[in-house]
């Protein structure tokens, strides 16, 4: 079925302050892309097959710009520690288990199954340092139909020996083997993934930057998440003025290189200015930022000020893959920021949160020539069909109100899902 119509109560963000709703509207899909959205379907389309979802909500698929697949197995644990202690106590021991392919298979099957049943259609994912397990994760994702970038993680210092690349040369050999083995995938692409500055030596960063250039890869990492981490980076990189500079001096910070940086909570003005100039994507991860006591990112300031911002679940810093929960949390923590930290930006609205989850995060794919995140001519048909019957109440709600309640109440049900025109559920 290359060409078809999808009918239902359609809602999507057209801009960061406008949700468009077409109750009983129709989307025309041709060869995996949207070619039209209509309140009344023109007669010329009358012969096409129709997937009629009645009064279910139809939304664009969401992009999770920052999630750790190997941390899914212990999500919801250890939520009383700050980042660096949490990494050493929970994360590193768990990630070391992915050396065992049998363990990785069971854990990654569960991760991918949950991701397919979530509202995420696209994601940028961290794996571990292990090449066979990372390729296996990519295989499972490829079969799922989700559209993802996946990174074999690089880390060769300041981490336990049981989860450390044994040398820079070995790290490079493994990274090359992984990149070349991943060439066979269509929907699952490699993204260069130095864990963060504390875990990578300068010579490894330099070598990764060479590989990046050679293979034309995008980059993902962590930035300015926690005060202790930032002080540590300043010690490790005495010649730099700010954390982001320790990536940019290797050409791993946007500027023609598609880059996602998670968190950016404490970015000083010069770091933020460089992110904007270099079109670095910010993955705002408010559930994680609460759990590992990181802080509250100035997401409203970034979004309204023209930075590129999407959302990240950051499982297992974040407790859930559900981006509706992340959206509601983004709104809620922005209110605390406004009340307690900075009155210069009004709190985020749910309209802005939906924009970040769909259009904002989807903008990462624009770096690769694909339009993602809304229903307009030329956009990839990524869509969610949501049953909010369990939320019905005394009065009728508009489509936009239904969407808001869906995000806050978490009692609705995903009944169908499409990524690039392919039906996953
Ligand atoms: N910084 C370095 N590694 C990690 C990680 O696994 N999660 C989070 N939230 N921050 C990190
Ligand atoms: Fe993370």
**pLDDT tens digits, one per residue of 302-350:** 999 999 999 999 999 999 999 999 999 999 999 999 999 999 999 999 9
pLDDT < 70 regions, the chain: none
Distance CA 377, CA 379 (A): 6
Centre of ligand 2 to C-alpha 399, Å, is 33
Nearest ligand to residue 70 Cα: 1
| Ligand 1 atom closest to the CA of 285, numbered from 1 | 9
- Testing ligand 1's pocket by substitution, the residue of 70, 86, 195, 264 carrying the most ligand atoms inside 8 A of its CB is 195
- Residue 189 gets the label, from left (phi > 0), alpha (psi -120 to 50) or beta, of beta
Distance CA 306, CA 349 (A): 17
- For residue 72, with 0-12 CB atoms within 10 Å meaning exposed, 13-18 middle and 19 or more buried, which class applies? buried
Q: What are phi and psi of 191, to 5 degrees?
A: -135, 130
Distance CA 210, CA 179 (A): 13
Nearest ligand to residue 153 Cα: 1
Distance CA 375, CA 370 (A): 13
Centre of ligand 1 to C-alpha 292, Å, is 10
- CA-to-CA dists, residue 366 to 81, 98, 281, 419, angstroms: 37, 32, 11, 16
| Joined tokens for residue 188 | 């699952």
Locus of tokens 């995903």: 414
DSSP character string of 272-322: HHHHHHTTPEEEE-HHHHHHTT-----HHHHHHTT-EEEE---BTTBS-S-
Centre of ligand 2 to C-alpha 71, Å, is 10
| Joined tokens for residue 376 | 């307009």
| Ligand 1 atom closest to the CA of 68, numbered from 1 | 6
Ligand 1 atom 9, closest CA: 317
- Testing ligand 1's pocket by substitution, the residue of 65, 69, 72, 196 carrying the most ligand atoms inside 8 A of its CB is 196
Nearest ligand to residue 128 Cα: 1
Nearest ligand to residue 74 Cα: 1
- Testing ligand 1's pocket by substitution, the residue of 65, 68, 71, 318 carrying the most ligand atoms inside 8 A of its CB is 68
Within 6 A (CB) of ligand 1 lie 68, 83, 87, 91, 195-196, 222, 225, 288, 292, 314, 317
Nearest Cα to Cα of residue 179 among 211, 225, 157, 201? 211
pLDDT at 393: 86
- CA-to-CA dists, residue 112 to 106, 148, 292, 383, angstroms: 10, 11, 24, 18
| Ligand 1 atom closest to the CA of 288, numbered from 1 | 9
pLDDT at 310: 99
pLDDT at 1: 73
- For residue 195, with 0-12 CB atoms within 10 Å meaning exposed, 13-18 middle and 19 or more buried, which class applies? buried
DSSP character string of 212-226: HHHHT--EEEEES--
SS3 175: helix
Ligand 1 atom 7, closest CA: 317
| Joined tokens for residue 126 | 């961290």
* Longest CA span, the chain: 67
Neighbours of 295 (CB within 10 A): 18
- CA-to-CA dists, residue 64 to 143, 209, 330, angstroms: 19, 25, 14
């Amino acid at each position: 079925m290359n060409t078809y119509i999808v009918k239902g109560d359609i809602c999507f963000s057209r801009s960061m302050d406008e949700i468009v709703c077409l109750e009983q509207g129709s989307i025309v899909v041709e060869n995996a892309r949207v070619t039209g959205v209509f309140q009344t379907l023109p007669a010329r389309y009358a012969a096409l097959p129709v997937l009629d979802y009645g009064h279910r909500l139809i939304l664009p698929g969401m992009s999770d710009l920052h999630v750790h697949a190997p941390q899914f197995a212990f999500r919801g644990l250890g939520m009383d520690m700050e980042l660096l202690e949490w990494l050493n106590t929970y994360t590193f021991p768990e990630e070391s288990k992915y050396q065992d392919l049998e363990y990785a298979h069971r854990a990654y099957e569960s991760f991918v199954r949950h991701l397919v049943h979530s509202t995420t259609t696209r994601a940028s994912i961290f794996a571990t340092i292990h090449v066979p397990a990372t390729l296996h994760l990519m295989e499972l994702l490829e079969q799922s139909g989700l559209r993802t970038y996946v990174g074999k993680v690089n880390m060769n210092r300041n981490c336990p020996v049981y989860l450390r690349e044994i040398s820079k040369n070995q790290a490079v050999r493994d990274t090359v083997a992984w990149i070349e083995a991943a060439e066979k995938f269509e929907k699952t692409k490699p993204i260069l993934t130095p864990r963060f500055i504390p875990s990578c030596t300068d010579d490894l960063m330099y070598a990764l930057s060479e590989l990046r250039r050679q293979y034309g890869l995008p980059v993902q990492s962590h930035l300015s998440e926690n005060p202790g981490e930032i002080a540590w980076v300043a010690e490790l990189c005495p010649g730099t003025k700010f954390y982001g500079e320790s990536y940019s001096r290797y050409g791993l910070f946007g500027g023609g290189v598609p880059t996602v940086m998670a968190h950016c909570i404490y970015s000083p003005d010069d770091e933020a200015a460089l992110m904007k100039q270099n079109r670095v994507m910010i993955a705002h991860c408010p559930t994680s930022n609460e759990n590992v006591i990181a802080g509250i990112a100035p997401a409203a300031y970034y979004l309204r000020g023209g930075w590129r911002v999407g959302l990240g679940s950051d499982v297992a810093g974040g407790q859930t893959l559900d981006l509706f929960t992340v959206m509601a949390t983004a709104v809620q923590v922005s209110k605390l920021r406004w009340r307690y930290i900075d009155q210069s930006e009004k709190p985020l609205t749910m309209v802005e949160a939906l924009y970040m989850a769909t259009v904002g995060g989807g903008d990462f794919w624009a770096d690769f020539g694909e339009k993602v995140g809304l229903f307009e001519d030329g956009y990839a048909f990524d869509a969610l069909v949501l049953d909010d019957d369990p939320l019905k109440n005394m009065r009728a709600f508009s489509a936009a109100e239904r969407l808001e309640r869906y995000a806050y109440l978490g009692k609705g049900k995903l009944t169908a899902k499409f990524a690039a025109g392919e039906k996953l559920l």
